[in-house]
Structure 1
């Protein structure tokens, strides 16, 4: 029965082989071979089978260098049409117009979104899962996510990478990546380690890979967003350094002191130990050493810089302040009150032991020196400046001396008044006696 079926098949196939090209049909078929040989005698070096149905014909050709499948529309037996499939003798397969496949499966060299379709939701260039070529790029097409799996064992696989439909990428089993890149647990980028560095899973940290287990040289943030830690090894004498140009430009010491331009701050905030007109700039009208508001150091002095007046305020309450002192841009000070601290006050002038210079000597001193005794001269004042406290004290001293001179003059005036009054009485008496004698 089986031989009859094979014989029938053979007769049917040979009916489509043209007379001019027909060759003998081999006799090697049956229970011992289960095959059908065409052109066993190999007189033209290949065998062909043509399958013709109305206006469509498929021809299998076993050439010396390949197995080929051609397709044509028409009834002419000697027209093979277009070769659409070929298998080389080394096993490489070419599809379409690939006449010389260079790989186990070689597609035509054309741009096509749909080169290989594994599944399609609709007959278009986007609603399918498969592969294609678009604008010289290899296109991985999916109707939903792209998911890459790795084997765990003979019965289980594990998701290792997911490219979500949104474009977010998840690594390590993240099935719903929330950011452009979402990594589960830890990540290592060259020597940069991101993940748990020993602070616990509630901390996200960045560290050098060699230091990831001992919480040193670490930037960490808590999962509640309340705390950020930058830690450096050896907290007894270490510090956190911010480097620019391979030099620490700003540091935080282990005691909490901040250094700008210095790595050994001795104050809670310390700047570089150099003279600079612009140490702190709060506002600048131009980039120079003068048209700004702020602080600096210049020739060993603390410089308060302003492009206008300096004005000092004090709070009067929670919602208001008042001006207490103004230093005018062109010089001068305005304030409600000035209180100077002094070590002594010239009340010693009123002591009995104080030696008051006689006015005659004061007059002689003035004529000789052209200024009051114990008062700096104009030349001294210009050279050293006006010491308000010292000068105010000396002025009070002179006022008190002037008061003593005034008291002395008053005493002398009163004495003279009494003398005059006595003389006037005597004069009246003399005039009265003279009048009686007349």
Structure 2
């Protein structure tokens, strides 16, 4: 004998009792389908556009299937009102999964913000996003110290501090970009002010070579240049050093020009002296 149970009656029973049953046939649910003994122990089927709706905490949650969306998950605060539902996730026939979008264009298409992570033992958060490469995972992590990027879980390749400082090969960058290693580039442009062309202006005081010699004897380096100990400890400002080097080159050029003028005067004096000696028959 076939027993017909309407969906409304079944919902009332489920709301009042805890139902325990052993299915012996497939279950097919449509807007007018009845359940028979032949519908158990296989699959639960929903007709096109039908959905399973669950209630909890004053909100409605559900799962359904329809064309063209495929399998979809929704929620609504309006009881028994699927029309007001917000569709949270869909799984299309192609296998593409959409979160925040009904039309995923990739295997996973997320419209909106997302967070993927686990809480670390220290209370920080670590994220692993990427692929295995030679047994290592591409690791991206967010902690209170900043954003960490590493080739594997045992090392940090790059760190972005909360203040915007970036470290490559170092986990404590004190400048906007700190690199512990070698940099190779085709071109580098440094913006500088007060380029030392002032050396060639009439009012510039060119230090005498004797002054420079005395300074070197006392200090062991050129005037206006940092000593070796300071460079080894603090590093070198490439832009400022280029300015200082150019200043010294320009000063040296002026000294060479002055020496050439003096040499020409000496050559002229020597020529006149030789002429006088020749005229005297000496």
Provide the aligned length of Structure 1 versus Structure 2: 213
Mapped to 2, the partners of 1:336 and 1:241 lie a distance apart of 38
Contact 1:230 1:240 in 2 (8 A): no
Deviation at 1:337, TM superposition (A): 3.5
2:43 matches 1:180: yes
User: Alpha carbons of 1:414 and 1:273: their partners in 2 closer, same or farther (altered >3 Å)?
Assistant: same
Mapped to 2, the partners of 1:209 and 1:336 lie a distance apart of 60
Counterpart pick for 1:364 among 214, 218, 224: 214
Match of 1:149 in 2: 4
1:275-323 per-position Cα deviation (integer Å, ceiling 9, x unaligned): 15x7334x42xx31x2x6x5334696423359xxxxxxxxxxxxxxxxx
Mapped to 1, the partners of 2:270 and 2:117 lie a distance apart of 95
Contact 1:206 1:219 in 2 (8 A): yes
Counterpart pick for 1:303 among 167, 170, 179: 167
Unaligned runs of 5+ in 2: 7-22, 102-111, 120-125, 128-140, 171-178
2:190 matches 1:340: yes
Unaligned runs of 5+ in 1: 1-117, 119-146, 152-162, 232-238, 247-259, 262-270, 307-326, 433-438
Contact 2:199 2:250 in 1 (8 A): yes
User: Alpha carbons of 1:403 and 1:391: their partners in 2 closer, same or farther (altered >3 Å)?
Assistant: same
Match of 2:234 in 1: 384
Match of 1:275 in 2: 145
Contact 2:53 2:62 in 1 (8 A): yes
1:127-159 per-position Cα deviation (integer Å, ceiling 9, x unaligned): xxxxxxxxxxxxxxxxxxxx75348xxxxxxxx
Q: Which has the higher strand share?
A: 1
Contact 1:168 1:180 in 2 (8 A): yes
Match of 2:123 in 1: none
2:29 matches 1:171: yes
Deviation at 1:240, TM superposition (A): 7.0
Counterpart pick for 2:202 among 352, 358, 363: 352
| Pairs within 5 Å for 1:127-138 | none
Structure number with greater CO (CA < 8 Å, separation at least 6) is 2
2:263 matches 1:413: yes
- 1:347 is paired with a residue whose SS is helix
Mapped to 2, the partners of 1:430 and 1:303 lie a distance apart of 80
2:260 matches 1:396: no
Counterpart pick for 1:206 among 41, 57, 74: 74
TM-score (norm 1): 0.39
Mapped to 1, the partners of 2:266 and 2:117 lie a distance apart of 90
2:231 matches 1:373: no
Deviation at 1:193, TM superposition (A): 3.3
Q: Which has the higher helix share?
A: 2
Mapped to 2, the partners of 1:375 and 1:341 lie a distance apart of 20
